[in-house]
Structure 1
């Protein structure tokens, strides 16, 4: 559900950028107040795993694919504030390094996937867990987060004048209702492993297991991801609002490829591994930075 540059061009871009900056700063402030935080290594490993998991598009009907958004997963494993920061970091790296989602629409993508997906999705999961239990609440929240993001994209496209709201809303919600089922299943399975099983592992295993999994997915499995257009691309093709445009920013590995390598599978795998390492490094640095914020700044 990464919006490319040419898809939104009006005032919606600076508005969503402003909202996203405020939201991410609020999440960072909230995170520094939390007494229970994962280690920097654990946070970085989960960020890397979220990046790798988002590379794995899975097919759905009508020649469409979906991929994990990961907001509820991030919030469940890391807590809602750090979940927002984790998804925002992944989306930013995807945009700047891999041209997956435009730079001028980065604010919209962070708003849709991090603030709504992890922020509202994490809040919803917490509200439902008492009534439904952990796994059912996680599944409902994960599905709902995808639908909420699809609704937000529909509103943004309509406000930007790209397509009529009624038309795009029905198509986006109909397509992403199926993708949301995949999101729910993946999220529940990942929470069971990351939070309930590996989450109680000793010491270095809390970092090593998700990081090694991310590296293997990025290097070995990402070349086998579905090549079908994702839900947003499919809807854009149906309503003809997917326009080609020169990139606003030259990325190092556009479309998850290494230019110097001609073998497509190897190129994708190495790009995936590079992304995992970048996410781990920046995630580690981000949490270390938050840990050093003086207590006076958060009172």
Structure 2
């Protein structure tokens, strides 16, 4: 049977209501700050690049790569988004990706969406950019090395936060879930670091000015935007060949024994990244990925455009 990506984020049922609400509160407050900060600092070149980066991260998250022990991992992308766009625009990009995944593909629970945005978007962007900014102005080699370390640490931060939320929810014992989550995500984080460094290295070689808001214009960025969309669609084309092994969180849930806590979404649109009337086929997965790419690109672009227009007024 051809591979169709399974849900990758925290489903409803893993976290209790109190923890989920607390995560939502933290997320909403942080997003409010991100909107305010982005509204004040959003550059002209960032609007189309927000859309492209969101689309690329969505597509890349469909590609699960195998790690040890019959487990797979996938890109989070928060560090990459924050480094290329700035921390606040990066947060909005990650929020757009995770929201579309939850609402359109039932990837992650609705009540748990606040936790997913917090763990995979806010923390990864904050940790990734926080470390990377310390080497701004340094050599490209230094920046790439630190970007890789920052990407790895961002994955570990998200895994640790998830562990604490599972413990606070009474889902798992702290002494079991922390070492289980951190050990598997230490390996997954290596893939995150590799993809982040490769993407930044490509930008450094082709359009280093895109990492400098002052020197990049929307006109000069159009060719790169087209190239980014083409690369994203190429990633979608290989999505049916991604690893079918459980991802890090799912593997931990199976091993520790709380996988049955997972609750299905109350509705289905494009569940499991497969178009319902096409079945579980490679065409179905590619078509679902293409739909997701277009939706995420449009959402992130419109968010950036609306903030830019608000700033102009």
TM bucket (normalised to shorter chain) is over 0.9
**Other-structure match for 1:135:** 144
Pair 1:99–1:126, CA change in 2 (3 A): same
For 1:112-123, list aligned pairs within 5 A: 112-123=119-130
Deviates more, 1:48-57 or 1:122-131: 122-131
**Other-structure match for 2:77:** 70
**Other-structure match for 1:79:** 86
Deviates more, 1:202-211 or 1:278-287: 202-211
CA RMSD in angstroms, aligned pairs only: 1.9
**Other-structure match for 1:287:** 304
CA drift at 1:193:
1.6
Pair 1:8–1:263, CA change in 2 (3 A): closer
**Other-structure match for 1:96:** 103
**Other-structure match for 2:234:** 216
CA drift at 1:21:
0.8
Q: Tell whether 2:291 aligns with 1:274.
A: yes
Q: Tell whether 2:64 aligns with 1:46.
A: no
**Other-structure match for 2:243:** 226
**Other-structure match for 2:214:** none
Pair 1:266–1:35, CA change in 2 (3 A): closer
TM-score normalised to the size of structure 2?
A: 0.89
CA contact (8 A) 2:129 2:150 kept: yes
**Other-structure match for 1:261:** 278
CA drift at 1:281:
1.0
CA contact (8 A) 1:258 1:268 kept: yes
CA deviation vs aligned residue, 1:213-268 (integer Å, no higher than 9, x gap): 112212x1111111000000000000011125553431310110000003511111
CA deviation vs aligned residue, 1:187-217 (integer Å, no higher than 9, x gap): 0001112355245483421210111111221
Q: Distance in 2 between matches of 1:246 and 1:89?
A: 23
For 1:91-240, list aligned pairs within 5 A: 91-129=98-136, 133-194=142-203, 196-198=205-207, 200=209, 202-218=220-236, 220-240=237-257
CA deviation vs aligned residue, 1:1-42 (integer Å, no higher than 9, x gap): 611112112300011011101111111111111163534222
TM-score normalised to the size of structure 1?
A: 0.93
Pair 1:19–1:206, CA change in 2 (3 A): same
Q: Distance in 2 between matches of 1:248 and 1:35?
A: 35
**Other-structure match for 2:4:** none
SS of the aligned residue for 1:41 comes to helix
CA contact (8 A) 2:72 2:245 kept: yes
CA deviation vs aligned residue, 1:81-104 (integer Å, no higher than 9, x gap): 111111111011101111111111
Q: Distance in 2 between matches of 1:244 and 1:267?
A: 28
